[in-house]
Structure 1
């Protein structure tokens, strides 16, 4: 099963640190000597080399200049930016508002033909109603101290979800049964969302599975929410960040986890019965 979802990001940061360390050693500089050339404390040099701190583009350029390796600076800046993109803190991406964050994923959604989406806490974004999404995103903005543009962000999310109606798309959604009972928004908004699940599950391109709470035993525990886009990328949603997994062996683990979770779910009439039960509980 998946280990730490940030391992690919950490490995990318560690590779940048390793390359910078090699430049320092090739230049015959000590940790203290490099720090002296760059004008910072020697502890910063150690943190960067051991991937405990992320260097800025300016830091990398100073480092390469001190080592007489300015020709390698831009390549290392690009590698560092790529490492940062694998582990994207919400507080940074939300600074421009939640609508912009929704729209930043449009190209990824448009280029994907097979979606595998697992959620243990909320209805997946691809089948959210505007009311449910607005209630969810307003809470996210409040918690993270982001600009509250939940209404426009919700509309952008719903517009993005239209991708599932395009020809050639295949969407498999897996949710844990408690998702149907975690209320976001008022009763009317939640009822509309459950109704949306009923109609979405009937779409030709969509397979909706619900993992019941009453299973006598399960070989795989509930996991953090994750999306697999084709077989090339997995995105894992943590409290503090979105982790992008691109290493093939790690993506394969998420595909394997999805298959095991999928085997636990119910579909068709059994899934609709669980949704209707949740609807009845709202009355």
Structure 2
């Protein structure tokens, strides 16, 4: 969840807790009894762990006599919903628009910290690999098929690998070398691409081996842009993190992931092993 969502829910929960106490409900249990809710629901809402529905807010205001606060609180709940950027809404006109949106962010970033446990990072993808990824995006979200345009915009980001003094710290899980998009030929082309780009002077490519001791659980993929923004992708949303203390947590997570990573010739050997794996795989 984004920092904004966390903070908004915590502030809302504290406000609702104050209403409960002002109304004479000295415990969450007493309020739960009055509303016919589970006590755990009251606790989760008050501590910002659960998003209350608009009906929950109406009941809360009714039981605590805070009718005049209803409109304001419902507006807060709706604002929390807006903080989640649903993929379907972002992608409703196709995938190319979302890829175009990323270019200004890349242009102004000086230091990138990238973690992808299961897929090759988009900026390092080949045309064929990216096309297979976007085909899945189109099918999964049932959006207009603009795969060719989306791939072109994604590959446009590769210019920044060669421009300016940008630093790219990229970590991939070993599984990313085996997650099969498009079959052996596409995968071998993608793995060859990794062998080529890992020689770039400002790109540090690390691999977290599958059996490496874990200093932190792998979690979702995330991309850090300087110390200003983190984007986290899930199946349903792209989460934007911009609060400094939350960004610090992602920086800490990245540093812990780096402890499990290998670099240099070891990475090369791991990639070559993956290529051999696809060499042995029959092609259609």
TM over 0.5: yes
2:208 equivalent to 1:211: yes
Runs of 4+ in 1 over 6 A off after TM superposition: 16-19
Q: 1:223 aligns with which of 219, 224, 231?
A: 219
In the TM superposition, 1:1-283 aligns within 5 A as 5-12=1-8, 52=52, 86-215=83-212, 217-283=213-279
For structure 2, the 5+ residue unaligned runs are: 20-44, 55-67, 280-284
Distance, in Å, in 2 between the alignment partners of 1:17 and 1:206 is: 44
Distance, in Å, in 2 between the alignment partners of 1:218 and 1:105 is: 31
Change (3 A) 1:155 1:85: farther
For structure 1, the 5+ residue unaligned runs are: 26-46, 55-66
TM-score, normalization by structure 1: 0.74
Distance, in Å, in 2 between the alignment partners of 1:52 and 1:256 is: 31
Distance, in Å, in 1 between the alignment partners of 2:53 and 2:102 is: 27
Change (3 A) 1:232 1:186: same
TM-score, normalization by structure 2: 0.74
Listed one character per residue, the Cα deviations across residues 125-183 of structure 1 (whole Å, up to 9, x for unaligned) are 11111111110111011111111211211111011222221111000100111110111
Change (3 A) 1:86 1:231: farther
The answer to whether the 8 Å contact 1:95/1:147 transfers is: yes
Alignment-derived partner of residue 39 in structure 2: none
Listed one character per residue, the Cα deviations across residues 18-42 of structure 1 (whole Å, up to 9, x for unaligned) are 99x9xxx9xxxxxxxxxxxxxxxxx
Change (3 A) 1:112 1:12: farther
Distance, in Å, in 2 between the alignment partners of 1:193 and 1:6 is: 32
Distance, in Å, in 1 between the alignment partners of 2:136 and 2:207 is: 25
Change (3 A) 1:53 1:156: farther
Distance, in Å, in 2 between the alignment partners of 1:175 and 1:128 is: 13
Change (3 A) 1:223 1:51: closer
Q: What is the CA-CA distance between 1:219 and the residue it aligns to?
A: 2.2
Listed one character per residue, the Cα deviations across residues 173-227 of structure 1 (whole Å, up to 9, x for unaligned) are 0011111011101322111111111111110110000011122x32212111001
